[in-house]
């Protein structure tokens, strides 16, 4: 057997020895690519799930469950009417509507554009001592001052409530704080049903009457 023939055999043996290593490397690479792809798919799926879990731009809060599902007092119904009219269709805001009428503010609120109203519930007004509430309802000037303190001349989105400071129509300032779907106004009143839409306003229903600074 000559030297050339021996060299060819050696080369063939070396190639045969290297072939399993090459196949192993390819297999390892394919596995990593597959794992990488699986991780990317999982990340994408997790991101999609997180997005799906985020609250949509719709009403939020524990008291929203008491809003009628249908009719003029429902969320869809309120969205068709200006704010004072919409409030009159919500039984939970009956005392507020009485106060707005007593102050002669129905037309003012209904004709305003792009406003935000912090609307106290009947229970919120019930927290005010009866004698004080009756006195307030009988004093149109003071009542107007209190009610316009609940109105901001711009539409406020939920995300603006986390650390907000807003000028009211009464000319004083109110503040908001919180996160997610839990917010307070002036560190005292809680928003119990927020981001309610009417034809001309965004409404945040609160559990306490807001009093302007003296």
Q: pLDDT per residue over 125-183, tens digit each?
A: 999 999 999 999 999 999 999 999 999 999 999 999 999 999 999 999 999 999 999 99
Contacts of 67 (CB under 8 A, 6+ apart): 59, 73, 74, 75, 90, 92, 193, 196
Residues of the chain with pLDDT > 90, as a percent, come to 71
Query: Is residue 211 in a domain?
Result: no
Query: Is residue 213 in a domain?
Result: no
Average of per-residue pLDDT across 5-18: 43
For residues 77 and 119, state if they share a domain: yes
pLDDT at residue 33 above 80? no
Domain final residue pick, 12, 36, 54? 54
For residues 5 and 108, state if they share a domain: no
H or E, element range at 69: none
Query: Is residue 147 in a domain?
Result: yes
- For the chain, what is the mean pLDDT? 82
pLDDT at residue 89 above 50? yes
Q: How many domains is the chain partitioned into structurally? A: 2
> Tokens at residue 50, please?
């997180």
Query: Is residue 146 in a domain?
Result: yes
Q: Which of 80, 118, 97 is nearest to 200 (CA)?
A: 80
For residues 50 and 114, state if they share a domain: no
Domain that holds residue 158: 62-206
Query: Is residue 175 in a domain?
Result: yes
- The pTM (predicted TM-score) of the whole model is 0.74
Cα–Cα distance measured from residue 55 to residue 136, given in angstroms and rounded to the nearest whole number: 38
Candidate ranges 31-40, 51-60, 86-95; pick with highest mean pLDDT: 86-95
Q: Which of 83, 117, 94 is nearest to 191 (CA)?
A: 117
Domain final residue pick, 11, 33, 54? 54
For residues 19 and 96, state if they share a domain: no
Q: What is the pLDDT of residue 56?
A: 57
pLDDT band (50, 70, 90) for residue 15:
very low
Average of per-residue pLDDT across 33-53: 42
pLDDT at residue 88 above 80? yes
Q: What is the pLDDT of residue 57?
A: 82
For residues 145 and 41, state if they share a domain: no
Residues of the chain with pLDDT > 70, as a percent, come to 74
Q: What is the pLDDT of residue 113?
A: 96
For residues 46 and 72, state if they share a domain: no
**Cα radius of gyration rounded to whole Å, the chain:** 33
Query: Is residue 158 in a domain?
Result: yes
For residues 131 and 197, state if they share a domain: yes
For residues 31 and 100, state if they share a domain: no
């Amino acid at each position: 057997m000559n030297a050339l023939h021996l060299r060819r055999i050696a080369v063939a043996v070396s190639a045969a020895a290297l072939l399993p290593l090459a196949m192993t490397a390819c297999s390892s690479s394919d596995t990593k690519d597959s794992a990488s792809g699986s991780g990317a798919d999982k990340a994408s799926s997790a991101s999609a799930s997180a997005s799906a879990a985020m609250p949509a731009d719709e009403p939020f809060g524990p008291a929203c469950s008491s809003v009628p599902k249908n009719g003029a007092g429902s969320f869809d119904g309120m969205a068709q009417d200006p704010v004072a009219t919409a409030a009159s269709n919500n039984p939970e805001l009956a005392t507020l509507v009485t106060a707005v009428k007593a102050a002669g503010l129905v037309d003012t609120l209904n004709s305003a554009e792009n406003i935000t109203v912090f609307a106290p519930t009947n229970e919120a007004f019930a927290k005010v001592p009866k004698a004080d509430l009756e006195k307030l309802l009988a004093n149109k000037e003071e009542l107007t001052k209190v009610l316009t303190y609940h109105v901001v001349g711009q539409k406020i989105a939920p995300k603006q409530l986390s650390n907000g400071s807003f000028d009211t129509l009464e000319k004083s300032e109110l503040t908001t704080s919180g996160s997610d779907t839990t917010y307070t106004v002036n560190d005292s009143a809680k928003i119990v049903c927020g981001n309610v839409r009417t034809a001309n306003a965004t409404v945040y229903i609160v559990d306490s009457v807001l009093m302007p600074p003296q």
